[in-house]
Structure 1
Amino acid sequence: MYEVIYMKADYEPWWLFEGWEQYIVEKHVFENEAEAKSFLDSKLMELRKIFPKEKNKDEKYWAFWSEKEVCFCDSCDDDLQIYHGLIWNETQQTI
């Protein structure tokens, strides 16, 4: 199985902090790797058109952002960057 996960949070997707699942915006599951990669490529192109900044980690995680999109953190009394993240996940299917 192959998953493409789109999340939006105030940290990059590779951190996967506890509770990261609450920031999932979309999750797509595929049985076919080619279909999954095609979908991933289309999402990457879509986000590249919207956001000027991008960072990749291990060809499994992508973060996109615009310096204009921030949220205020009450506990740290500062603005935090908002990241749009894509995660590529391959899971073993058990029979």
Structure 2
Amino acid sequence: MFEVIYMKADYEPWWAFEGWEQHIVKKMTFEQEEEALQYLNKMLDEFRAKFPKEQVKGDKYWAFWSIKEQCYCESCEDDLQIYHGVIWNSLK
């Protein structure tokens, strides 16, 4: 089984802070690796077209962002960057 996870948070997906699952926007599970990779590559292409910034960690984490998309953090009294994270997960 294979998963492609899309999360949106004020941190990159590889940090996986406690409670990161609450930031999942969409999770797709596939039996076949080929089908999962097609979905993953389509999603990555869409995010690359939409967001000017990208960072990759390993071969399973992608973060996309635009400097214009931020949220205000009351406790730290500062603006935080919003990241659109994609996670590839092989459940073999």
Q: Which band: TM-score by shorter chain?
A: over 0.9
RMSD: 0.4
Question: Per-residue deviation at 1:82?
Answer: 0.1
How many residue pairs are counted as aligned between the two chains?
A: 92
Q: Secondary structure at the match of 2:88?
A: strand
* Alignment partner, residue 56 of structure 1: 56
* Alignment partner, residue 43 of structure 2: 43
CA distance in 1, matches of 2:50, 2:34: 25
Which runs of 5 or more structure 1 residues have no equivalent in the other structure? none
* Alignment partner, residue 9 of structure 1: 9
Identity among equivalent positions (%) equals 66
Q: AA paired with 1:44?
A: L
* Alignment partner, residue 33 of structure 2: 33
1:66 aligned to 2:60? no
Normalising by structure 2, what TM-score? 0.99
- Structure 1 residue runs of 4 or more that deviate by more than 4 Å after TM superposition: none
Q: Secondary structure at the match of 1:45?
A: helix
Which runs of 5 or more structure 2 residues have no equivalent in the other structure? none
Q: AA paired with 2:52?
A: P
